[in-house]
């Protein structure tokens, strides 16, 4: 009987999290080329996580898909716990390795140093003192790649 009550209480607390939690926002702030070879390119994306809450959050995992100039260039998953400070933003570095054949048209824009249209979408697992929740996100805009 005690186990059922404890499980019910945990379920209630985690579902209440959505009542108290203002969803953080995600934006791509920078793209850096870390390594380029004849077959692959390694990017490092700087994703800014804005925490509007008056309490710290922990980013437990982040799954993401990146599009450049309307073309999917890759998917990734970051499984590293990162503290997102209350009422502030934190820049989260996330890696992405992609095959040069997947880049197509964006490759010419990258090499020319042109601004790129981007879209990043995915889901973040966020933990607060009251429980955890998964928050989907999608953000698009224009960005210049650092070399």
Q: What dihedral do alpha carbons 79, 83, 85, 86 form, nearest 10°? A: 80
Q: Which residue has the higher pLDDT, 104 or 53?
A: 53
The pairs formed by 11-15 with CB atoms below 8 angstroms and a separation of 24 or more are 13/130, 13/131, 14/130, 14/131, 14/132, 14/133
Q: Which domain holds residue 20?
A: 2-146
Q: For the chain, what percent of residues have pLDDT higher than 90? A: 48
CA gap 56, 42 in Å, rounded: 31
Specify burial of residue 26 (Cβ count, 10 A radius: 0-12, 13-18, 19+). buried
**CATH code for the domain of 131:** 2.60.40.10
* Helix and strand counts by DSSP (H, E) for the chain: 3, 8
pLDDT digits (tens, 9 = 90+) for 12-71: 444 555 567 899 999 989 988 899 888 888 989 999 999 999 999 999 999 999 998 888
Q: Which residue, 61, 33, 60, is CA-closest to 46?
A: 33
Number of domains into which the chain is organized: 1
């Amino acid at each position: 009987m005690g186990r059922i009550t404890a499980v019910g209480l945990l379920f209630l607390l985690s579902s209440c999290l959505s009542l108290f939690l203002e969803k953080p926002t995600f934006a791509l702030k920078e793209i850096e080329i870390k390594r380029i070879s004849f077959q692959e390119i390694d990017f490092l994306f700087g994703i800014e996580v804005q925490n509007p809450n008056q309490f710290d959050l922990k980013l437990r995992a982040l799954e993401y898909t990146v599009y450049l100039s309307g073309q999917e260039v890759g998917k990734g998953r970051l499984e590293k716990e990162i503290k997102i400070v209350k009422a502030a933003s934190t820049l989260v570095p996330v890696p992405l390795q992609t095959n040069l054949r997947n880049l197509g048209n964006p490759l010419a824009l990258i090499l020319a140093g042109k601004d790129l249209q981007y879209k990043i979408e995915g889901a973040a697992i966020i933990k607060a003192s009251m429980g955890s929740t998964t928050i989907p996100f999608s953000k698009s805009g224009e960005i210049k790649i650092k070399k």
